[in-house]
């Protein structure tokens, strides 16, 4: 198999004639029908991965729930698909909650996160019947005691003092993290919540970061929770890395859960409810971004410039994340080029030194493994109109988020 194919959704193939096909749809046809740039999501692959998390967790721990970290792809249709496969979701604030509610996620299975939740975030969560608020600071407790009328389930987020090997911007478990409470403060928060007649302390939460390719830090974080006593619920966060290039070898979901649940068996009460909240590793591979080549400039370096870039994929410029790419109808092989975007920064590079076979103006370029955090951080740089999300399945394609039009750029002007 051509190596780049391994990074596309499972089942992606090169058809006779050379066209790359995902979920039965030729990528060039999708580009012609829906325009570029476009986020394409293999709905079957997305659902399959959600089921994998649900089933692999359920097979290892009796009272378990997988919830999708909606920040990885905060799109109503994605949340709906994942919820239909039996997952809950976490939301970081009232905006993501809007999508979760619109998607029909059971409010009892929604977890509200955030290191700076406003009164509005909390009030909207309470009004929606969100089952669990994850307390990150003492002001959360003050606010909840003021706003809650009945009873609200909460978890306390703990800093486990674990620093995984990942980009500093997405490491969240270390001593000086802005997220969560150090053990001493967590104990004080636990005592305060226990003394509250409106807040019900269900347990603890921990999340050490994102794009983590080694499982050992996850186990250390679980161990850190055990020092705080025994609780009914442990939400162990997300963070498993996704495969972006063929040099990446992230653990499988099963391997990751073996370590995580193994640590839970060792350190946590057997009767507890266990929650995991994957984002990136659940959605990354289901997504493919399509672009069209606008110009090829040959010189000391060859620049292949497309009609998108850092307005639809910030992962490269924010975290230096490496992506691979291919011409949609000439897959694999070719010369190393710099695949760059159309935005006014030299850092607007989608993939430096990526091999593309005979790239020409008008070609469709497919960038695999763009399902996580790309749609999330889409932006309007240089007046970019936000791309559509196109679900593909069994040869059918449907738009679940439309492309912004030029009129949308003026929609909020007063």
Ligand X SMILES: Cc1ncc(COP(=O)(O)O)c(C=O)c1O
Active site residues: 344
The single residue among 76, 137, 281, 317 that binds ligand X, judged by CB under 6 A, is: 281
DSSP state at residue 245? S
Residues 307, 197: Cα–Cα separation, whole Å = 56
Size of the site for ligand X (CB under 6 A): 16
Q: Min. distance of Cβ 2 from ligand X in angstroms?
A: 28
Three-state SS annotation for 274-297: EEECCCHHHHHHHEEEEEEEEEEE
The span of 17-25, 190-198, 236-244, 263-271 binding ligand X (CB under 6 A) equals 236-244
The span of 118-126, 141-149, 234-242, 292-300 binding ligand X (CB under 6 A) equals 234-242
The span of 1-9, 49-57, 223-231, 233-241 binding ligand X (CB under 6 A) equals 233-241
Torsional class of 69: left (φ above 0), alpha (ψ -120 to 50), beta (otherwise): beta
Nearest CB to ligand X, comparing residues 210 and 317: 210
Binding mask 111-140 for ligand X (x = CB under 6 A): --x---------------------------
Interhelix angle for 138-147 vs 119-128, to 10°? Answer: 50
Report if residue 251 touches ligand X, rule: CB under 6 A: no
Contacts 24+ apart (CB under 8 A), 26-33: 26/328, 27/288, 27/290, 27/328, 27/364, 27/366, 28/328, 28/329, 28/364, 30/290, 30/390, 30/392, 30/397, 31/290, 31/292, 31/328, 31/364, 33/397
Binding mask 60-99 for ligand X (x = CB under 6 A): ---------x-xx-----------------x---------
Q: Min. distance of Cβ 164 from ligand X in angstroms?
A: 10
Written as one string, the DSSP assignment of 127-149 is: HHT-SEEEE-SHHHHHHHHHH-S
Residues 166, 212: Cα–Cα separation, whole Å = 6
Report if residue 250 touches ligand X, rule: CB under 6 A: no
Report if residue 278 touches ligand X, rule: CB under 6 A: yes
Report if residue 238 touches ligand X, rule: CB under 6 A: yes
Report if residue 49 touches ligand X, rule: CB under 6 A: no
Where does this chain bind ligand X (CB under 6 A)? 69, 71-72, 90, 113, 207, 210, 237-240, 277-281
């Amino acid at each position: 198999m051509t190596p780049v194919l391994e990074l596309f959704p499972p089942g992606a193939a090169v058809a006779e004639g050379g066209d790359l096909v995902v979920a039965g749809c030729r990528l060039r046809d999708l580009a012609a029908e829906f325009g570029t740039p476009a986020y394409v999501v293999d709905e079957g692959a997305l659902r399959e991965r959600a089921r994998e998390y649900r089933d692999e967790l359920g097979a290892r721990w009796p009272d378990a729930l997988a919830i999708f970290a909606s920040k990885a792809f905060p799109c109503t249709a994605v949340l709906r698909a994942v919820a239909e496969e039996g997952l809950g979701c976490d939301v970081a604030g009232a905006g993501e909650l809007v999508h979760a509610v619109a998607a029909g996620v059971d409010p009892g299975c929604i977890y509200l996160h955030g290191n700076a939740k406003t009164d509005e975030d909390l009030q909207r969560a309470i009004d929606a019947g969100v089952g669990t608020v994850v307390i990150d600071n003492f002001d959360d407790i003050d606010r909840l005691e003021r706003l809650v009328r009945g009873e609200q389930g909460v978890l306390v987020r703990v800093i486990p003092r674990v620093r995984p090997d990942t980009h500093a911007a997405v490491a969240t478990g270390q001593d000086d993290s802005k997220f969560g409470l150090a053990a001493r403060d967590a104990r004080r928060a636990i005592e305060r919540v226990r003394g509250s007649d409106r807040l019900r302390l269900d347990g603890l939460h921990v999340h050490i970061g994102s794009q983590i390719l080694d499982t050992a830090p996850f186990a250390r974080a679980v161990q850190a929770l055990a020092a705080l006593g025994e609780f009914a619920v442990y939400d162990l966060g997300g963070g498993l890395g996704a495969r972006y290039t063929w040099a990446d070898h992230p653990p499988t979901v099963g391997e990751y859960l073996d370590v995580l649940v193994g640590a839970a068996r060792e350190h946590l009460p057997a009767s507890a409810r266990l929650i995991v909240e994957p984002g990136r590793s659940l959605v990354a591979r289901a997504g493919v971004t399509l672009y069209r080549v606008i110009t090829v400039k040959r010189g000391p370096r060859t620049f292949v410039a497309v009609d998108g870039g850092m307005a639809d994929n910030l992962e490269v410029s924010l975290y230096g994340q490496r992506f691979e790419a291919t011409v949609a109808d000439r897959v694999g092989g070719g010369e190393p080029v710099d695949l760059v975007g159309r935005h006014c920064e030299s850092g607007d590079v989608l993939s430096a030194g990526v091999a593309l076979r005979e790239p020409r103006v008008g070609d469709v370029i497919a960038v695999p493994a763009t399902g996580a955090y790309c749609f999330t951080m889409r932006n309007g740089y240089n007046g970019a109109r936000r791309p559509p999300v196109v679900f593909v399945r069994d040869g059918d394609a449907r738009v679940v988020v439309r492309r912004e039009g030029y009129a949308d750029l003026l929609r909020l002007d007063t």
